[in-house]
Structure 1
Amino acid sequence: MVSRGPWTGDARWHNDEVHERWLRLLNRPTGALDYRDEWYDAQCGGCRFWIALSGELGRDWGACTRATSMFDGQMRFEHDGCPSFMVRADRSFG
């Protein structure tokens, strides 16, 4: 394999594979029968401690940075959630 510089994470095939693999780790799949209505407004993408990745994967994925969350330091899907959610002051998402 020929090195073409630093990995940028912009290979579509790789991003699709990562997305599908990480989706298996969801805590609260929005399509699950036991998904509660009150969780809809408490998704990771709206949490003040969620930091989006850069590049294509950052459209859906970010890191949890809340020390009290069971997901601290892990990649999280923007529509997932956890009990440590804290809404952003500006109520933005993503």
Structure 2
Amino acid sequence: MAAGEPWTGEDQEHNDRCHARWLASVNRSTAQPDHRDEWYDAQCGGCRFWIPLSGELGQDYGACSNPASSFDGRVRFEHDGCEGFVLRADGSFG
């Protein structure tokens, strides 16, 4: 990116570093042995309060806007989840 140009978020190295760093804060990893089956249907990307980021990072990440969640105002991985999950009325994901 040239000096003075607006940031677009389309820097692959930067995005890869963010992805690795942000995965460290996942609440419910499917790789954990105690991951419960019902959590597969209650992932952030299917919550009515999940707002996807724009650009490439928005394919996997969004902001939580649920005032009942401890993650309100934080960037979350679309496959993460929490106790404040609310299913989208249309059943969409992402």
TM range (shorter): over 0.9
Alpha-carbon distance in structure 1 between the residues aligned to 2:22 and 2:82: 16
Alpha-carbon distance in structure 2 between the residues aligned to 1:2 and 1:60: 27
Paired residue secondary structure (2:51): strand
Match of 2:71 in 1: 71
Opposite residue 86 of structure 1, the aligned amino acid is V
Opposite residue 6 of structure 1, the aligned amino acid is P
Match of 1:25 in 2: 25
**How far off its partner does 1:4 sit?**
4.3
Match of 2:48 in 1: 48
**Cα RMSD, aligned residues only:** 1.2
- Identity of aligned pairs, percent? 64
User: CA offsets per residue over residues 12-36 of structure 1, 9 Å max, x none?
Assistant: 0000000000000000001110000
- Number of equivalences: 94
In structure 2, runs of 5+ residues without a counterpart are: none
Paired residue secondary structure (2:5): coil
In structure 1, runs of 5+ residues without a counterpart are: none
User: CA offsets per residue over residues 51-87 of structure 1, 9 Å max, x none?
Assistant: 0000000000000000010000000000000000000
Q: Compute the TM-score of the two structures, normalised by the length of structure 1.
A: 0.97
Alpha-carbon distance in structure 2 between the residues aligned to 1:2 and 1:49: 35
